[in-house]
């Protein structure tokens, strides 16, 4: 992971490439596309636990 440390904080910020790779990995692990996962998130019904976990990870990434 490429990390950038804010001099005023101990927070580590992921690079845009890290974010893209994390999103791709979450989708791969869930075995679906982002569109499919977003459709399940809109209804609140996830087909698998892996899909739910992928959504948790991806929504947290997108919120940053």
Residue 48, pLDDT score:
96
Residue at 8 is within a domain? no
Q: What residues make up the domain containing 38?
A: 15-63
How many domains, the chain? 1
Residue range 22-45, pLDDT digits in tens: 999 999 999 999 999 999 999 999
Residue at 3 is within a domain? no
* Residues facing residue 14 across a β-bridge: 3
**In the structure encoding, which two tokens stand for residue 34, read together?**
């982002």
Residue at 39 is within a domain? yes
Residue at 9 is within a domain? no
CA distances from 19 to 8, 40, 57, 64 (A): 22, 21, 10, 10
Residue range 6-27, pLDDT digits in tens: 567 777 778 889 889 999 999 9
CB atoms under 10 Å from CB of 55, counted, come to 18
% pLDDT > 90, the chain: 64
pTM: 0.75
Residue at 1 is within a domain? no
């Amino acid at each position: 992971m490429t990390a950038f440390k804010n001099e005023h904080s101990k927070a580590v910020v992921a690079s845009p490439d890290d974010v893209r790779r994390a999103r791709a990995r979450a989708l791969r692990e869930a075995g679906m596309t982002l569109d499919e996962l977003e459709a399940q998130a809109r209804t609140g019904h996830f087909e698998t636990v892996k899909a739910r976990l992928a959504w948790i990870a991806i929504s947290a990434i997108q919120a940053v």
